[in-house]
Structure formats: C-alpha cells, structure tokens
Amino acid sequence: MSLSEFLKAAESISNIKKQEVPLPIAKKYAVISPLKVGDDLALRTSLTSPVNYDREMIRLIHRHTEIQGPDGELIRENYEHFCATTSNIDKLCLIWGLYKTTYETLGKRTIRCDKESCKTEFKQEIFLDDLVKEDTFVVWEEELPFHEYIYVIEVPYDKFIYIFESKIPTIRDNNRLLSNLSVDTLQNNLQSTGMVFSRAEQMALLTKSVIIQNENKSIPNPPRTDNLQEMLIAFKQYIPHVVSEDFFKAYRDKFDKYYPQFYTIVRCPACSNEIRYQVDLEVEFFRRSIYGRGESSEEL
C-alpha cells in the first residue's frame, strides 16, 4: 500500500517536467519527458555496436515521446509507425527536447574567440533554451509528407544519365542502413573521416532508387534499383566520383535548409566580439552516453 503510494508520487513528479518540441519535417508537435536513471544504462550497454546504439537511442526517444493529435490529445505512436514517419532531422529536435527536459544545460564549454587579434579562451555555460533561435527550424514546405516525397536529381555522364530519386531519410532508413554495415566498416569510417557513414553509404541513405538511362532517354525500361544492397555496391564500386559530387550539390541545394541550426551567440569577455557557437546534438548525445555528465560537459 505505502509502496504504491510512493510510486504514484514518483510517477507524478516525473511527469511534471515535460518539454514541447516541434518536429519541422514530420510536421508534428511532440511532448518529451525527462530521462530516468534506468535509461542511461540501456544506452551504455549498447555502445559496443553502432546499430544497437542507434536502435537503443530510437527506443529511448520513442519511450519519452508523445505526439499531439488533431485535438491536442497526446498519443504514443506505434513504434514502427514512429520510425517510418519521423525523419532523421526530426530526431535532432527530439534529442534537443530530451536534453532540455533532462539537463537544461550542456555545461560549461571552453570557447575561443575567433577574432584574429584576440583568440582569448574563456568558459561559458551553454543552455539548451539559448540554442533555439528564430531561424533554427525550417518547416517542411512540400505538399506531400516528407516520407512520400521524392526529389529527382539527374546527373549526365558521358552518354548516360543517372536518375536518382532522392529523399529525406526516416529514422527507419537510418537504422536499416546501419544494420547493413559491419561494425568494422563503421569503425573504419569513424577513424578515417570522423563520420558514421562513408560518401557512398551517405548517398544510399539519401536515395530511394536509381535509374541508368541513355542520354536521349530512349530506353523503354532502363535498369533501375531500389535495393539498398545493390545501391551500396553500385555507389561504392561503379558510380563515378564526379556523379556523386553533382548529386550532393543538387541534394544540398534542395534540402540543406531543413537541417536545424542549434546555435547561440556568445560574447568574448576580452574584446566583446560576438561568436556563433553551434552544437551537433547527435554528437553531444553520443558523448554523454560514453562519458556521462561530468566529463561530457567539458569540451574534449
């Protein structure tokens, strides 16, 4: 009896600090509840494998996320549906919400003035609230939902045209790609480029299908694939580097504006210069999972 009373009280306290956050690509409103003691452990145990880490992170985010329905009621979406209709970009906003409601602050950071004649180093606490500015989010502008939307990028090469159907990846796309790569591959990527995915893998993540057509588009049924494994092999081994350059250029021109800019302006105490301090929340999250609160609150 007294135990259940105690748990009831603990539960109601844990519900107090909820944070509303917009999901600009999925065009939804989410309400996030803070991390609990047990959450941390699940993430730490999955750190040896990037796929498991990603999966655990998504489960963790999902567990703490409720979505506002049409009448303002809060719904916990079915896990599969959540992964298929929430973008990788929205995930960053959810991480922001999770951080905000759990910690409020990223801790003190060492910042170096970027003015050539100054270069003063100083410490400043970075609050989650300060990272959201008027231009942080750009809301999805197309009529179709992002997960149905295709942006065609045509790249001519010699007597052929590569026709890419590009997209904004969902949380599920990201995890599916991760599970197609070996731990060795991912570790190698991280060591050689500091990124989780190589260029070819990144391209596969952003592509729904690819067609090889001849230059006057006269082949009636040109070779086409939407198979992830096939695309990975083709992008790695057969598609010319210049084609990937044109692809990324066109993709960025179209979609870059949607990546949320979490930044704050800090003032150098020595010369009053204003410095833009930008944060990669996914990296922050990863770091805190590895090092915990103390160590991760300081720039490494």
Residues between 241 and 300 that touch Zn ion (CB under 5 A): 268, 270-271, 273
Closest approach, Cβ 25 to Zn ion, in A, equals: 37
Closest approach, Cβ 277 to Zn ion, in A, equals: 13
Q: For 31-82, what is the HEC assignment?
A: EECCCCHHHHHHHHHCCCCHHHHHHHHHHHHHHCEEEECCCCCEECCCHHHH
Residue length, the chain? 300
Q: What is the distance between the alpha carbons of residues 256 and 252, in angstroms, rounded to a whole number?
A: 5
Q: Is 113 one of the binding residues for Zn ion (CB under 5 A)?
A: yes
Q: How many residues of this chain bind Zn ion (CB under 5 A)?
A: 8
Question: Encoding tokens for residue 232?
Answer: 């990975």
Residues between 46 and 105 that touch Zn ion (CB under 5 A): none
Using CB under 5 A, which of the segments 24-32, 106-114, 253-261, 290-298 binds Zn ion? Answer: 106-114
Closest approach, Cβ 119 to Zn ion, in A, equals: 7
> 34: closest CA among 20, 12, 18, 10?
18
Nearer of residues 121 and 295 to Zn ion, judged by Cβ: 121
> 277: closest CA among 108, 116, 25?
108
Closest approach, Cβ 275 to Zn ion, in A, equals: 8
Closest approach, Cβ 115 to Zn ion, in A, equals: 5
Residue with tokens 């999805």: 140
* Footprint on this chain of Zn ion (rule: CB under 5 A): 113, 115, 118, 120, 268, 270-271, 273
